[in-house]
């Protein structure tokens, strides 16, 4: 065992000190300390956005934000789990929206209070240009908002830190829906795949999967070429 793995660090969870092994993610450090995740935990190793966390490093006064499954726990770190930000989403019927108007400002007028402080961008664990897509939303540029927000996981950290009380991810979601419905053409390959499904091309394969047990399904999944590439067993 290496020296780093033997090293213990101190983290503070909800104000209480705990000794945890060096090198753990924030989520694993909290679990090692006995914290049980009932809420605020999803995929545990990807980008689902469920484990939004606020922390403060030793000797620093600024709050930092991260996903607990991604960031590494550090000695002297003060941790606090956040529930999902209770940001209200406006009700709308996408089929009744006029795509020629800037309805983003209509449904979310708070975007016009943006002071360009860039706190939202600094809070984003995906490193998205959140402030820039809000500026695009103010202009009614659905395409730019959709492009810049495409990888948003809706963790809520931007909204939690915004002094203008903007719910950035809801604004972006509406923009992507409008852009997808009214401004993008349905790609030919998608139309072809729908035809294949309607024609029953995949019925036998789906039927085979439905009859498999859990062990067989796992073996089938891990034997896929994409999984082998990720494990380094084959090259592209």
Look at residue 1 in the predicted model and tell me its pLDDT: 42
Q: Minimum mean pLDDT among 20-29, 40-49, 68-77, 91-100: which range?
A: 40-49
Is 25 a residue whose pLDDT tops 80?
Answer: yes
What is the C-alpha to C-alpha distance for residues 134 and 123, in angstroms, rounded to an integer? 14
Give me the CATH code for the 3-81 domain, please: 3.10.20.30
pLDDT of residue 2: 47
Which pLDDT band, with edges at 50, 70 and 90, does 215 fall under? very high
Overall average pLDDT of the 142-169 stretch:
92
Q: For residue 226, what pLDDT is reported?
A: 81
One DSSP character per residue, 55-113 reads: EE-TT--S-EEEETTTSBP-TTEEEEE-PPP-PPPPP--GGG--TTS-HHHHH-GGGGG
Contact status, residue 52 vs residue 67, Cβ threshold 8 Å: yes
CATH of domain 94-183: 1.10.1060.10
Write down the residue that tokens 């390959």 correspond to. Answer: 189
Q: At what angle do helices 168-178 and 142-149 cross, to 10 degrees?
A: 120
Residue boundaries of the structural domains of the chain: 3-81, 94-183, 198-230
Q: Is the pLDDT of residue 163 over 70?
A: yes
Please tell me the number of Cα atoms within 13 Å of 97 on its side-chain side: 23
**pLDDT tens-place string over residues 175-207:** 999 999 999 888 899 999 999 999 999 999 999
**pLDDT on residue 224:** 85
- Supply 10's token pair: 């101190």
**Pairwise CA distance, residues 112 & 108, whole Å:** 8
The confidence band for 42, taking pLDDT boundaries of 50, 70 and 90, is confident
Burial of residue 208 (number of CB atoms within 10 Å: 0-12, 13-18, 19+): exposed
Q: What is the pLDDT of residue 236?
A: 62
Burial 140-168 (b: 16+ CB within 10 A, else e): bbbebbbebbeebbbbbbbbbbbebebbb
pLDDT band at 115 (very low <50, low <70, confident <90, very high): very high
The predicted model gives 27-44 an average pLDDT of 84
């Amino acid at each position: 065992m290496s020296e780093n793995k033997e090293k213990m660090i101190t983290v503070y969870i909800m104000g209480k000190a705990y000794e945890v092994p060096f090198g753990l993610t924030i989520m694993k450090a909290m679990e090692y300390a006995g914290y049980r995740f009932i809420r605020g935990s999803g995929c545990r190793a990807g980008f689902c956005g469920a484990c939004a966390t606020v922390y403060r490093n030793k000797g620093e006064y600024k709050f930092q934000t991260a996903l607990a499954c991604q960031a590494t726990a550090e000695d002297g770190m003060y941790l606090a789990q956040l529930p999902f930000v209770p940001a209200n989403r406006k009700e709308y019927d996408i089929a009744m929206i006029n795509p020629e108007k800037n309805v983003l400002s209509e449904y979310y007028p708070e975007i016009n209070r943006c002071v360009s402080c860039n706190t939202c961008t600094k809070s984003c664990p995906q490193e998205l240009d959140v402030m820039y897509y809000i500026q695009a939303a103010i202009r009614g540029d659905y395409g730019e908002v959709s492009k810049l927000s495409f990888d948003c996981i809706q963790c809520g950290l931007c909204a939690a830190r915004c002094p203008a009380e903007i719910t950035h991810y809801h604004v972006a979601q509406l923009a992507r829906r409008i852009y997808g419905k009214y401004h993008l053409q349905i790609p030919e390959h998608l139309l072809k795949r729908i035809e294949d499904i309607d024609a029953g091309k995949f019925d036998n394969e789906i039927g085979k999967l439905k009859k498999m047990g859990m062990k067989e399904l796992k073996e089938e999944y891990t034997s896929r070429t994409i999984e082998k590439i990720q494990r380094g067993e084959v090259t592209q």
